[in-house]
Chains A and B, each alone.
Chain A
């Protein structure tokens, strides 16, 4: 039994019912508590045309109400009516809502007195506008809390209140009520909690919080509200305990008693307050006081009703009929009757009806059935919708029960009343708890009636018909997932639907094949109920907590066991039926029986037998549809068997499945089973990496089948991915690609070409786009640039076309970026081939497209990737003309990008990438002379970057600026502009003398400058440094000598150290070579020799083969000049 919480009474009775009641014109016929009055009022007050609107509104209100009734703990307090202070934003919100209600119902209220209504609406409108206008300058707390509640985000709502309070966003009134609001939110969260433990913990916490609130806020304006909430919690707990069983009755009684006492105390507390606020004692202009009085009145009434309700429930905690039980129930009856007498005002119509209902229930428990019936009829005869409708259903249920009990046995009257109401039930109502209860009691009444008339002459047939009706009604409830299923199942079991002798105590007798077929079908029909139950249980299991899950598991085991029993019986039946087949029977029926046999074997998980029977049935079906289905069963069974056998037997299975698949395809080429068969085969081949079979299996699918192309693309893409992974791995390990890799690539290409040739606009999907990108990459890597472009840019279905016009088809950002990168690569290469450099617009479009496809911050990464791809292309070397073209187009492209962009990231990339390519090209004598332009582009990019940085102070750090200067110097040096490079670098080291990279670059630049200009001066600067400062006795530019000294003891700079030692010797060698006098040359050359010797002896292993080779080569040059044996580093071994 559900009970009304305080909120329920406050909110649903106040606003919703008040609204409902407003639509009844009680002004014409003052409310006297009789249904007749309601009818009259309705007839007078509503015009026909408005009836539908009113009904619809009632329905909506009813739906809301039911939602809350089903989850009593979810019924939340409305801070608006509870706060009692009219100026809060919470109230403003409610005022607007009330206004909306009034406006909504204006067409249905009292057309006889339009002026009164109009005035009321205008007054409300004025009031609401006043609040709306005063809503400026506030966090919309009420609205937001309301929405959070709707979203069941109670915990987050608490966080919100705390955060808002901390940020000073709450007004004083809300702040004053903050603690209580938070407790209320936590209370609301109890019902939303998913696990039983959590729910209990939350409820306990709320209880403690409320008690703490009450003890620490003795004069709080919302104290009574808090009390009612606490009493609600106890009432809930009492209810739960009572539901657990008789042994918990004592504990339940204590909670009911506590709850009742608290409700009673609230009544006692409020009574004198309300007396002091009666009538004219409150100034009619004091809106706050009026609102407060209204709230107290509501709280008073709800406390009264709940007090009575507790008394009723206390009666339930004693043995039925005991004096204690009777005493409590009598008290409840008196209390309810008292309230019924008091609630004659139209605004309290809802409370009045509710108390009638509860009084009826109390009277039933007291055995005063006639009086109870009267109470229920007064409720059941109401035709109003909304919350009333729920009570009507409940009252009708009680009436049906009363009329159909054995003493009364007025089955027909009961059924007529119940059915009449059930006929009016909407589809969405039928499965609501109250309606389900009604359906069950009506079903019981019908069964009672059926039993009664079965005893009458010729009543047997009618009785059977009624039972059949009941069965189908309850089966409908059993089929629908929900808590009613157990009850329905049990009901059906009692009705005799469920087979209790499923294990076959007594085999079902069959007379012939046809009889057997009927019996099999019946048995399989029965099995469907179990299948339904398994589904339902599994669904429930997925949503259950651990505790419930264990119970559901046990239930599942039981149901499955019952189901297996049914199938065992069905198996036996089927085998016996097939044995009874004779020439007179239909061959189609035999096929059907075999199919049933295979199906039952699958259900019993006897897959070997199932596969054999199904395979045979399929092949012997002569093309009938049932054979196709049997093929599906056979494939399923084979697949199941495959999961359990070892790899050595899998090959055998594959040949069996292949044979069956071929048969299916031949017989039913378009059937789903055939498609599944081949897909299975393909899956098996892929799983076992039997790629040589894949294309053969693919050929089995008809070319015009819609899946053919899609599967080919999937497989091709899979192969391409495998190839890409292998390439990546081998690249990292330095291995060469082998024949096997090339075979994978070739198959990927074949499959992709096949799949993409069948691609149409309507079959276009993301994978097909990825497949096309993969094929374009294959073509590009094979230098088939035109083919790559063709596949990328196919009209409507090419990746580029899709990316430009139907981008929503591409969800994967990487695919989108890759498309535009590929496009750029292809465009560059094609331009190179055609000798038609890209136009400015073309480059800008390409860059823009890449940018638009990239995620924030991803654009630069895309460009880096593109750079890497172009550099990779460049590195592939094979085709010198392509390399030359790339080298010529690369600067064009980058120059355009430099012009087009003001982005520091892009310019940075251009600078670095260009220099990277320059460095690579310098190693090739054919390409080296063509690097000037690219170096110049790099320099421009860096200059522009610095310009951008200048106009945006703070964009670049000093360190970053130094790095840029170094990059700029590299670009200048690469163009042979050594003076600029030295100036740039010197500027850096002047500001930051310990910038090692700059010092290294300076030494390198001076050295190259010296070698290029054949200048001892620059070589000496490289060696010894430059810009000597006499005061500090140091040089601003260190030179290789000082660099090597500084790095000698720093192992982390080992490579730089070795570089400095090598170049130290190299510089001396170069200086020596420029000496005009032999003695001076020899002396300097000896020093160079010594430099190498000292280095080699100090670092005998020279860290790596690379350095050893370099020192060895240099030493050989020196040895040659010193006219010694050119034995390189072996000289020191000898030493």
Chain B
């Protein structure tokens, strides 16, 4: 053996021992991992979990986290597939999350917390897939309600309530949706409260209750903006308000607001910009400026196809608008993409 080979062997052995040691620590010592929405992961033992806060003990030092500031928690003894599914959900990679969570054998989970997490993620992923047009909304609602019944103080409470509200809207059950969104108003965090109000306003808009929606959106906009989260909701609310203006027959006024938002906004914010362009498209459609409307919806289709709901809406409108521009083949293409990508969405069912 040459000196170099010997040196390499020593290096590998050293690395192997370190790796093995880490692995040993992970299994023997056992710890939960809390991933904040911003900042580094905190390891320790979860001491308390309520719908409002989570307390983690890190070597005798306790840290409190408001639930809306938590991205996810990985519990000791959790199956790896569940951990990966959680990470994928945090990255909004739902399809991969579905296949990952399917790998989990629930019977094999021994930890009580992990079992609960499995239940929650199983149905919340299904629900998010349903919102994107390919999951079973009814099954998700059923599953989440069962989870909520068993875990009324879950730290997922507000996130789950919002999801239930969105699912109720997608199922056309607006009264129930309103109840869910109203529950968010009881959250201690202001941005959660506002998000609930925003969602409620959106639901009212879907029902063409323009005056009520206007009131709700205005409330969101009137709130003091002391965090980035709130500022973002307010921008989305501004788009909602433009939609209300359109509903009330003021397409020009709505367009003016939307153009201003484009000039001043950050095009990297896909959710916001897809919403803006769809609203622009709707305004231009109302004004019978079909080429402009196509361009607006094409923004969403070509630049923000990752925004499932907005993309489905854009495809739905493009399917009819292309025909008006004498492009039947493109219309067929839009329709078929809508049906294949978002078969379960409200847009595909329209």
> Interface of A with B (CB < 8 Å)?
132, 135-140, 143-144, 147-148, 151, 153, 156, 159-160, 163, 167-169, 807-808, 848, 851-852, 855-856, 952-955
Contacts of A144 in B (CB 8 A): 298-299, 302-303
Contact code string B266-307 (vs A, CB < 8 Å = 1, else 0): 111000010000000000000000011011001100110000
Separation of A144 and B265 alpha carbons in the complex (Å): 16
Q: Is the CB of B299 within 8 A of A851?
A: no
Known: A144-B302, A807-B349. A953 touches B263 (CB 8 A): no
Known: A135-B268, A952-B212. A168 touches B173 (CB 8 A): no
Q: Is the CB of B262 within 8 A of A143?
A: no
Known: A138-B267, A848-B172. A169 touches B259 (CB 8 A): yes
Query: Is B264 in the interface zone, CB < 8 Å from A?
Result: yes
Separation of A143 and B211 alpha carbons in the complex (Å): 37
Kindly identify which residue among A148, A163, A955 contacts B211, using a CB–CB cutoff of 8 Å: A955
Kindly identify which residue among B259, B265, B299, B343 contacts A137, using a CB–CB cutoff of 8 Å: B265
- What are the nearest 4 A-B pairs in CB distance? A147-B302, A140-B267, A136-B266, A167-B259
Separation of A168 and B303 alpha carbons in the complex (Å): 20
Query: Is B209 in the interface zone, CB < 8 Å from A?
Result: yes
Kindly identify which residue among B171, B263, B264, B295 contacts A160, using a CB–CB cutoff of 8 Å: B295
Query: Is B149 in the interface zone, CB < 8 Å from A?
Result: no
Query: Is B165 in the interface zone, CB < 8 Å from A?
Result: no
Closest A residue to B304 by CB, please name it.
A140
Separation of A115 and B293 alpha carbons in the complex (Å): 50
Q: Is the CB of B302 within 8 A of A135?
A: no
Closest B residue to A902 by CB, please name it.
B175
Contact code string B219-252 (vs A, CB < 8 Å = 1, else 0): 0000000000000000000000000000000000
Contacts of A136 in B (CB 8 A): 265-268
Separation of A48 and B266 alpha carbons in the complex (Å): 43
Task: Say how far A747's CB is from chain B's closest CB, in angstroms.
Answer: 35
Task: Say how far A581's CB is from chain B's closest CB, in angstroms.
Answer: 54
Q: Is the CB of A163 within 8 A of B292?
A: yes
Q: Is the CB of A953 within 8 A of B259?
A: no
Separation of A984 and B291 alpha carbons in the complex (Å): 51
Contacts of A147 in B (CB 8 A): 298, 302-303
Contacts of B298 in A (CB 8 A): 144, 147-148, 153, 156
Q: Is the CB of B302 within 8 A of A138?
A: no
Known: A139-B263, A169-B263, A954-B211. A856 touches B350 (CB 8 A): yes
Known: A137-B263, A808-B344. A143 touches B295 (CB 8 A): no
Number of contacting residues on B, CB 8 A?
27
Contacts of B295 in A (CB 8 A): 156, 159-160, 163
Known: A848-B173, A852-B171. A140 touches B303 (CB 8 A): yes
Known: A148-B298, A807-B349, A954-B211. A852 touches B263 (CB 8 A): no
Contacts of A132 in B (CB 8 A): 268
Kindly identify which residue among A135, A167, A856 contacts B267, using a CB–CB cutoff of 8 Å: A135
Closest B residue to A157 by CB, please name it.
B295
Separation of A143 and B295 alpha carbons in the complex (Å): 13
Q: Is the CB of A953 within 8 A of B211?
A: yes
Separation of A950 and B267 alpha carbons in the complex (Å): 42
Task: Say how far A159's CB is from chain B's closest CB, in angstroms.
Answer: 5
Q: Is the CB of B263 within 8 A of A151?
A: no
Q: Is the CB of B343 within 8 A of A808?
A: yes
Contacts of B173 in A (CB 8 A): 848
Kindly identify which residue among B211, B259, B350 contacts A168, using a CB–CB cutoff of 8 Å: B259
Number of A-B contacts (CB under 8 A): 67
Task: Say how far B126's CB is from chain A's closest CB, in angstroms.
Answer: 15
Task: Say how far A497's CB is from chain B's closest CB, in angstroms.
Answer: 38
Task: Say how far A693's CB is from chain B's closest CB, in angstroms.
Answer: 39
Separation of A877 and B344 alpha carbons in the complex (Å): 43
Contacts of B303 in A (CB 8 A): 140, 143-144, 147
Separation of A807 and B262 alpha carbons in the complex (Å): 38
Contacts of A848 in B (CB 8 A): 172-173
Separation of A953 and B294 alpha carbons in the complex (Å): 34
Known: A144-B302, A168-B259, A848-B172. A139 touches B343 (CB 8 A): no
Task: Say how far B5's CB is from chain A's closest CB, in angstroms.
Answer: 20
Q: Is the CB of A159 within 8 A of B267?
A: no
Separation of A187 and B120 alpha carbons in the complex (Å): 56
Closest A residue to B255 by CB, please name it.
A167
Separation of A169 and B256 alpha carbons in the complex (Å): 11
Q: Is the CB of A156 within 8 A of B265?
A: no
Task: Say how far A860's CB is from chain B's closest CB, in angstroms.
Answer: 12
Residue among B267, B268, B294 having the largest count of chain A Cβ atoms under 10 Å:
B267
Contact code string B327-350 (vs A, CB < 8 Å = 1, else 0): 000000000000000011000011
Cross-chain pairs A/B with CB under 8 angstroms, 25 sampled: A132-B268, A135-B266, A135-B268, A136-B266, A136-B267, A136-B268, A137-B265, A139-B262, A139-B267, A140-B273, A140-B303, A143-B267, A143-B303, A144-B298, A148-B302, A151-B302, A156-B291, A163-B291, A807-B349, A808-B343, A808-B344, A848-B173, A852-B171, A952-B212, A955-B211
Separation of A139 and B266 alpha carbons in the complex (Å): 9
Contacts of B262 in A (CB 8 A): 139, 169
Known: A144-B302, A148-B298, A848-B172. A138 touches B263 (CB 8 A): yes
Task: Say how far B332's CB is from chain A's closest CB, in angstroms.
Answer: 14
Separation of A953 and B209 alpha carbons in the complex (Å): 11
Contacts of B268 in A (CB 8 A): 132, 135-136
Separation of A151 and B333 alpha carbons in the complex (Å): 12
Task: Say how far A100's CB is from chain B's closest CB, in angstroms.
Answer: 16
Q: Is the CB of A137 within 8 A of B264?
A: yes
Contacts of B264 in A (CB 8 A): 137
Contacts of B294 in A (CB 8 A): 156
Separation of A952 and B214 alpha carbons in the complex (Å): 12
Q: Is the CB of A852 within 8 A of B292?
A: no
Task: Say how far A424's CB is from chain B's closest CB, in angstroms.
Answer: 36
Q: Is the CB of B259 within 8 A of A852?
A: no
Contacts of A807 in B (CB 8 A): 349
Separation of A159 and B289 alpha carbons in the complex (Å): 12
Separation of A559 and B273 alpha carbons in the complex (Å): 56
Task: Say how far B304's CB is from chain A's closest CB, in angstroms.
Answer: 10
Closest B residue to A857 by CB, please name it.
B208
Q: Is the CB of A952 within 8 A of B350?
A: no
Closest B residue to A804 by CB, please name it.
B138
Separation of A137 and B272 alpha carbons in the complex (Å): 13
Separation of A137 and B211 alpha carbons in the complex (Å): 30
Kindly identify which residue among B259, B265, B302, B350 contacts A855, using a CB–CB cutoff of 8 Å: B350
Task: Say how far B291's CB is from chain A's closest CB, in angstroms.
Answer: 5
Separation of A163 and B289 alpha carbons in the complex (Å): 11
Closest B residue to A146 by CB, please name it.
B302
Q: Is the CB of B267 within 8 A of A952?
A: no
Q: A144-B302, A852-B172, A953-B211 are in contact. List 8 more A-B contacts (CB 8 A).
A: A144-B298, A147-B303, A156-B295, A156-B298, A168-B259, A169-B259, A169-B263, A848-B172
Task: Say how far B280's CB is from chain A's closest CB, in angstroms.
Answer: 9
Contacts of B259 in A (CB 8 A): 167-169
Task: Say how far A373's CB is from chain B's closest CB, in angstroms.
Answer: 49
Contacts of B212 in A (CB 8 A): 952
Separation of A144 and B302 alpha carbons in the complex (Å): 7
Known: A144-B302, A147-B303, A159-B295. A851 touches B265 (CB 8 A): no
Separation of A1073 and B295 alpha carbons in the complex (Å): 77
Separation of A808 and B134 alpha carbons in the complex (Å): 11
Separation of A736 and B172 alpha carbons in the complex (Å): 43
Contacts of A148 in B (CB 8 A): 298, 302
Contacts of A138 in B (CB 8 A): 263, 267
Closest A residue to B284 by CB, please name it.
A163
Task: Say how far A380's CB is from chain B's closest CB, in angstroms.
Answer: 41
Kindly identify which residue among B172, B209, B273, B292 contacts A851, using a CB–CB cutoff of 8 Å: B172
Separation of A665 and B273 alpha carbons in the complex (Å): 63
Known: A135-B267, A138-B263. A159 touches B172 (CB 8 A): no
Known: A137-B266, A147-B303, A168-B259. A159 touches B291 (CB 8 A): yes
Contacts of A139 in B (CB 8 A): 262-263, 267
Closest B residue to A810 by CB, please name it.
B349
